[in-house]
C-alpha cells in the first residue's frame, strides 16, 4: 500500500494548496467526501496523518466516534453530550490528532511513514460491512488492525473498531454512570464497531484482556 500513500500524499498537497482561506468557525461542519474502496480510505488516512491535515482526517472519520474517544480521554458525559449536540470543536479535533501524530513514535516505536498494511480481512457485523487491515512495520506485525466501515457514501475509518479496545472498560464505566438518554443511545448505536473489533481479537486469539473488556461492554450495551 505504500506506493498508494505516496500518490495520495502528493494529491492531498495539491488540493491543500488550492484551498481557499477564510475564517474558521468554532465547530466546523465537515463536508464528507469518502473514497469508494476501503484500501483507499486507509491510504488517504495515513497520508493525512503524515501531513497533519485534520480537515481530511475528519472527512475520513466519524465526528461522533471522535467525540466518544475525546470524552473518554479527559472529559465525561456532559462534554460528550455537548459534542454530540454541537459537534467536536475544531481546536479539540486539532489537539487530538496533533497529539496522536506527535505521540505515535514514542507509543509504537515506529514512525507513521514506515507503517504498512497486510491483506484485508472483510467481515459483516449487524448488517454493516467492515474491512480490517493488519498493521506491520517492515517484516514485523504490530498486532493491531485498522478498520474501515462501509457507509451510504463510501468507506470511512472506524475509530472505535480500530482504537476502541483499550477504551472498552472506561467506556463501560461511562455508560454505567450516565443518565443522558442521547449519550446512551449514541454509544449503543456503535455496537457493531465494538463487535467487529471483538471478533477479530477472538479470531486471532490476541490480547485476552481487551477481548474480555469488549465482551463486557457488548453485554452491557445489549442489555
Higher model confidence: residue 32 or residue 62? 62
Average pLDDT across the chain, whole number: 84
* Most confidently predicted of 77-86, 109-118, 135-144: 77-86
Q: Band of the pLDDT at 3, cuts 50, 70, 90?
A: very low
d(CA 17, CA 197): 37
Higher model confidence: residue 45 or residue 32? 45
Higher model confidence: residue 73 or residue 129? 129
pLDDT of residue 25: 41
Q: Band of the pLDDT at 7, cuts 50, 70, 90?
A: very low
Q: What is the pLDDT of residues 83-128, one digit of tens each?
A: 999 999 999 999 999 988 888 777 777 778 888 898 999 999 999 9
Higher model confidence: residue 216 or residue 205? 216
pLDDT of residue 8: 37
Residue 164's nearest CA partner among 142, 135, 197 is 197
Q: What is the pLDDT of residues 36-51, one digit of tens each?
A: 999 999 999 999 998 9
Q: How far is CA 74 from CA 28, 66, 78, 102, 188, in A?
A: 22, 13, 12, 18, 21
Q: Is 57 left (phi over 0), alpha (psi -120 to 50) or beta?
A: alpha
Evaluate if residue 23 carries a pLDDT over 60: no
Q: What is the mean pLDDT of residues 133-149?
A: 79
pLDDT of residue 57: 95
Q: What is the pLDDT of residues 172-187, one digit of tens each?
A: 999 999 999 999 999 9
Higher model confidence: residue 109 or residue 194? 194
Which of helix, strand or coil describes residue 189? coil
Cα angle 175-176-181, degrees, rounded to a multiple of 5? 55
Q: What is the pLDDT of residues 66-77, one digit of tens each?
A: 999 999 876 678
Question: Sign of the CA dihedral 216, 141, 44, 37?
Answer: negative
d(CA 220, CA 11): 44
d(CA 193, CA 181): 20
> pTM score, two decimals?
0.84
Which of helix, strand or coil describes residue 145? strand
Amino acid at each position: 500500500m505504500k506506493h498508494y500513500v505516496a500518490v495520495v500524499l502528493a494529491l492531498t498537497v495539491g488540493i491543500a494548496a488550492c484551498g481557499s482561506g477564510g475564517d474558521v468557525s468554532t465547530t466546523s461542519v465537515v463536508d464528507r467526501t469518502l473514497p469508494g474502496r476501503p484500501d483507499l480510505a486507509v491510504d488517504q488516512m495515513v497520508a493525512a496523518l503524515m501531513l497533519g491535515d485534520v480537515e481530511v482526517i475528519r472527512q475520513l472519520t466519524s465526528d461522533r466516534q471522535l467525540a466518544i474517544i475525546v470524552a473518554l480521554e479527559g472529559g465525561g458525559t456532559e462534554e460528550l453530550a455537548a459534542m454530540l449536540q454541537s459537534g467536536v470543536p475544531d481546536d479539540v479535533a486539532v489537539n487530538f490528532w496533533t497529539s496522536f501524530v506527535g505521540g505515535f513514535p514514542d507509543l509504537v516505536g515506529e514512525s507513521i511513514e514506515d507503517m504498512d498494511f497486510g491483506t484485508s480481512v472483510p467481515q459483516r457485523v449487524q448488517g454493516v460491512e467492515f474491512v480490517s487491515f493488519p498493521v506491520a512495520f517492515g517484516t514485523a506485525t504490530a498486532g493491531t488492525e485498522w478498520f474501515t466501515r462501509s457507509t451510504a457514501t463510501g468507506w470511512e475509518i472506524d475509530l472505535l473498531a480500530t482504537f476502541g479496545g483499550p477504551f472498552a472498560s472506561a467506556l463501560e464505566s461511562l455508560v454505567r454512570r450516565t443518565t443522558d438518554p442521547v449519550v446512551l443511545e449514541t454509544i449503543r448505536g456503535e455496537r457493531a464497531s465494538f463487535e467487529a473489533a471483538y471478533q477479530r481479537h477472538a479470531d486471532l486469539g490476541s490480547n485476552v484482556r481487551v477481548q474480555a473488556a469488549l465482551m463486557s461492554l457488548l453485554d452491557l450495551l445489549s442489555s
